[in-house]
């Protein structure tokens, strides 16, 4: 017996890891600046692991607010 909360948590965890990803779906991340989810883009194919912002604007914004 497991509480409903545990079931929901497991489902979300799987989705976050991308293991339940269907063909055609793109991986997503959450922008470190605006907190919004953004989808994989082809231009990030080689740097996806390093991408943390949804756009250049957010990346610059974070650099300016870092301190």
The binding site for Zn ion (CB under 5 A) comprises 31, 33-34, 54, 58
Q: Least CB distance from residue 67 to Zn ion, whole Å?
A: 19
Identify which of residues 31 and 51 has a Cβ nearer to Zn ion in the complex: 31
Q: Least CB distance from residue 41 to Zn ion, whole Å?
A: 13
Identify which of residues 21 and 36 has a Cβ nearer to Zn ion in the complex: 36
Alpha-carbon separation of residue 23 from 11, 20, 43 (angstroms): 18, 10, 20
**Listed residue (1, 60, 8, 51) closest to 29, CA to CA:** 51
* Cβ neighbour number for residue 53 with a 10 Å cutoff: 19
Q: Least CB distance from residue 42 to Zn ion, whole Å?
A: 18
């Amino acid at each position: 017996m497991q509480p409903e909360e545990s079931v929901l948590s497991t489902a979300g965890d799987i989705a976050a890891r991308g293991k339940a990803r269907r063909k055609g779906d793109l991986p997503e991340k959450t922008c470190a600046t605006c907190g919004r989810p953004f989808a994989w883009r082809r231009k990030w194919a080689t740097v996806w692991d390093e991408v943390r912002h949804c756009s250049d604007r957010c990346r610059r914004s974070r650099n300016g607010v870092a301190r």
